[in-house]
Structure 1
Amino acid sequence: MTKLKKNLLALAAVAALLAVAFGTFLLVKPDAAATAAPSLPAAGEAQVVREDSHRLTEPARSELTLVEFLDFECEACGAVHPTVEKLREEYGDRVTFVARYFPMPGHRNSRTAAVAVEAAAQQGKFEDMYRKMFATQKEWGELQSSQADLFRTYAGQLGLDMAAYDKAVKDPATEERVKADQRDGMGLKVQGTPTFFLDGRPIQTPRTYEAFKALLDERLAK
């Protein structure tokens, strides 16, 4: 190996460490580094919620919008999921709940999970697969082997058209839809998951259901 090549490799390693240290994420598949990472949106172009964002509730008269950038393999996202579900049950007729993809690079199957959920969404089963991923997270989270086959099993359990599901998983446009959410998150300075935005503004994730409920009650009272 030439001295120049050794130096370049060393610089690359240092850059990677600095990226992690300062919360800059290389948003690529761990097993497919050649896949292009999402590019940052131009200044001012990132949006907290878009017309095609996945809405878990659509009240006739929405008084607030709560957006979560999430990673299906993230333990913290899994921990807050029951709180979000409980809040949905209580405030679903007043608050629009939105879920957006933000798979983290340190999780081997986070992007694979997001693509599986998006493939299910194309058959009107976003919420079913979204719930399935969190319900089973302890079974596949943190595993270093691809769980694509397991996620395909989930799709079958949900009654999806498997030929259409397989086609969607392989379609680059499906992953691009995941990256579109990531681009917005990056432009909005999302550096970890879960990250919540309430009516367009980032909030510190409340530690308990009671604290989250109190925050919504306060905003709804205004």
Structure 2
Amino acid sequence: MARIRLIPLSIAALALISLSSGLSAHAQFAGSQGTQVHDATALKPPAGARVAIVEFEDMECPDCARANPLLREAAEQYKIPWVRHDFPLSFHPWSFQAAVNARWFDLKSKKIGDDYRDAVFASQSSLTSLNDLRSFSEKFAKDHGIALPFAVDPTGKLTAEVKADYALGQRVGIEHTPTIWVVTNHTNGAPPFVEVVDRTKLYQLIDAALAETRASK
């Protein structure tokens, strides 16, 4: 598990949104070992989905790499969305560029972008520098019939998107990567999200969320 240092990326100056009374119950629901949520705006499924997995990840984080196959398997087995947010930590030298690269591949197709993320996690231990990442990304692109340009983000648009995701994580209250939730479209009764503190219980939490949302229909 990668934890945040006191001096994160340059956008760390963005202030956290104060904890509202309406969200305090949700923060408590996460449990004493979970994230104290300050802004739950991001903790909901995409439109049309009842249940989803939401993750804030750093592509250079070893624990994110360990979690990656489980999350992919769960999303595929349950056929639920897996919403992946970038939260690259400042002490990881190539994670930010990897997130920018992934968004470039997203422009080709979301599947290729997610396949790139999965491939980076699978090869993470062999990537020790930006040069390694560049060579890996070029090969990945070639294997998919794509030419990776020298300047992946000439306008800075993809960089801004990664920074926006990082800022979103700050507003949520992210303290480590990966941070994972099972979220629902619930508006009444039980809190609409629960943090996956123990990943061995991921399937149990998804089962409970699906059951709860069926019962509320």
TM-score (ref. length: structure 1)? 0.69
CA contact (8 A) 2:182 2:209 kept: no
Secondary structure at the aligned position of 1:219 is classed as helix
**1:159, CA displacement in angstroms?**
2.1
Aligned residue in 2 for 1:26: 7
Give the whole-Å Cα distance in 1 for the aligned partners of 2:208 and 2:40: 27
Aligned residue in 1 for 2:62: 75
Per-residue deviation, residues 57-113 of structure 1 (Å, max 9, x unmatched) = x8x952212110001111111111111111012111xx2211110111221111111
CA contact (8 A) 2:51 2:81 kept: yes
Taking only the aligned residue pairs, the percentage that are identical comes to 23
Give the whole-Å Cα distance in 2 for the aligned partners of 1:26 and 1:202: 28
**1:157, CA displacement in angstroms?**
2.2
Kindly provide the amino acid, as one letter, of the partner of residue 205 in structure 2. L
The answer to whether structure 1 residue 198 and structure 2 residue 179 are counterparts is no
The answer to whether structure 1 residue 160 and structure 2 residue 134 are counterparts is no
Q: Which has the higher contact order (CA 8 A, sep 6+)?
A: 2
The answer to whether structure 1 residue 47 and structure 2 residue 41 are counterparts is yes
TM-score (ref. length: structure 2)? 0.71
The answer to whether structure 1 residue 213 and structure 2 residue 203 are counterparts is yes
Unaligned runs of 5+ in 2: 19-38, 184-191, 213-217
Unaligned runs of 5+ in 1: 1-20, 29-35
Give the whole-Å Cα distance in 1 for the aligned partners of 2:199 and 2:116: 26
CA contact (8 A) 1:46 1:183 kept: no
Kindly provide the amino acid, as one letter, of the partner of residue 198 in structure 2. P
Matches for 1:1-222 after TM superposition, within 5 Å: 23-28=4-9, 36-37=10-11, 39-40=13-14, 43=17, 47-48=41-42, 62-92=49-79, 95-124=80-109, 125-140=112-127, 143-144=128-129, 146-150=131-135, 151-163=137-149, 166-199=150-183, 201=193, 203-208=195-200, 211-222=201-212
Give the whole-Å Cα distance in 2 for the aligned partners of 1:110 and 1:103: 6
Give the whole-Å Cα distance in 2 for the aligned partners of 1:203 and 1:66: 10
